[in-house]
Amino acid sequence: MNRLVISDKDLELNQIRDFLESKPQVELSDVAKEQILTSRKIIEDVVASGKTVYGVNTGFGKFADVRIQKEETAELQRRLVLSHAAGVGEPMPESIVRLMMLLKIKNLSQGYSGIRLETLQLLLDALNHDIIPVVPQKGSVGASGDLAPLAHMTLLLLGEGSAFVTVDGKRAQLPARDALKTANLTPVQLQAKEGLALLNGTQAIQAYGLTALLEAENLIRAADIIGAMSLEALLGTLTAFDARIQEIRRHPGQIDVARNVRKILQDSPIVESHRYSDHKVQDAYSLRCIPQVHGAVRDGLAYIKSVFEREMNGVTDNPLIFPDNGDVLSGGNFHGEPLALAADHLGIILSELASISERRIEHMLDPNVSEMAGFLTEEGGLNSGFMIAQVTAAALVSENKVLAHPSSVDSIPTSANKEDHVSMGTFAARKAKEIAENVTNVLAVELICAAQALDLRAPLEPAPATAAVLDLVRGRIAHWKEDRLMHVAIDAARELIESRAVVNTVETVSGHLY
């Protein structure tokens, strides 16, 4: 059975991808269990000593100066969870909540939070039995982390709220207590500090952001491939992709993109057919500047990846327990600003992938530019061809322009000005994922247009790599001889991109893409 062991080692991005795709069983290592037990002992000692520690025996936020009696510390945690479960809107996708649960387990396993092992084990058991709490999408400002989303996640451990679970082979939504019963699991009564440990943190921002990041890593390679197909179909010149041009500007992403395009279009009869022609000295920017634009996206993605990799392995709770000397320190590691800025940047750079893609689509459809059949249909008038597919791409590009407006520049004070600067990171990450989905659809439109355009270049043949992609597409989507249901073709192309079939096909022919 596929397993994912949570230990003192960092999680890697490929493990997150595998977790989302193959749903491994998650386990705590012995080292992680020892860390959890050690930090819990410190909290129990604090409660026994009567020492005042925020969130352990005090109220929260503006009520931090209200002392809670020893016998009420458990009730304090229960009420914290119930009152903070104030989310609204449609439920988050189950995949996002599953990842949020995993990231919370990793966060709490490091021994700085003071949660009991049995409480964390219940969250882990629920995850392994695919009992996924219903978490509304909206209600987090990314300040003390994702309080509302994480409170809804935590309700499951109390037997409150509701959860998705498989019943008779179908996913159903049941009251949490009933959902736990399907796996013979029993709710827990939270003890001192546990509710706060579960609610503080940036795991919702991380889950949305990491999912968008994984999509982006596939999209940057797919965009190079599809852009190369369009360049080839439009009889573009490869001069602009010469390695010397890229090297003297020094941006690594630009160098890699140009290298990819040269590799993808190697041995192309179409390219060779006009190599020494003065027909086109310079191409439009959407072709000529693919290395500069796609490359800038890659360089931005490297920064974003570094932020999210640090965060998913860091500790975002408050207060924090330091086992070496027993100190319990209150700080601000829950603040989502690092992720908010990175997620906004992710949305912006992905929007540019779609923007330049839509321009290449337009060039292929315009007979004055492409010198092919208008809208890539040989019987125009009776057929509209790809006319409205380009309109769809334009609509998504325009939508992305609104979605890419940064959330992180906004802040609204909460908790009676105690939490007077917030990150809005959760919305930033949600938007980034939505933008990634829009970009995938725009690239899907470009893919079917490029395939049609390459067909129209016959009897000239495309490069071996792009020919392989053309065969892949034609295995799912027939040549557009006469008009038919367009969205079916777009959906099929999107699935080829999302499944990484486009990238895998080229790498089988040309070797690894950068």
Active site residues: 54
Amino acid of residue 67: R
Name the token pair of 386: 């790809």
Whole-number Å distance between alpha carbons of 384 and 397: 21
DSSP symbols for 338-350:
HHHHHHHHHHHHH
Q: Considering only CA atoms, which of 269, 228, 229, 273 is closest in space to residue 474?
A: 229
- Pairing mode, strands 3-6 and 25-28: parallel
The conformation of residue 459, written as its DSSP 8-state character, comes to: T
Integer CA distances (angstroms), 51 to 27, 36, 67, 322, in order? 34, 21, 10, 16
Residue 413, classed as helix, strand or coil, is coil
Beta bridge partners of 174: 163
Asked if 199 and 210 touch (Cβ cutoff 8 Å), the reply is: no
The conformation of residue 92, written as its DSSP 8-state character, comes to: P
Q: Considering only CA atoms, which of 314, 341, 491, 331 is closest in space to residue 408?
A: 341
Q: What angle do CA 274, 277, 282 make, to 5 degrees?
A: 95
DSSP symbols for 181-232:
HTTT-------TTHHHHHHSB-HHHHHHHHHHHHHHHHHHHHHHHHHHHHHH
6 sits in which H/E element: strand 3-6
Whole-number Å distance between alpha carbons of 493 and 491: 5
Amino acid of residue 205: I
Whole-number Å distance between alpha carbons of 475 and 459: 20
Name the token pair of 180: 């736990």
- Count how many residues are written for the chain: 514
Question: Distance from first CA to last CA of the chain, Å, rounded?
Answer: 32
Phi, psi angle pair for 476, to nearest 5°: -115, -30
Q: Considering only CA atoms, which of 492, 430, 471 is closest in space to residue 229?
A: 471
Q: Give the CA dihedral 305, 309, 310, 316, nearest 10 degrees.
A: 120
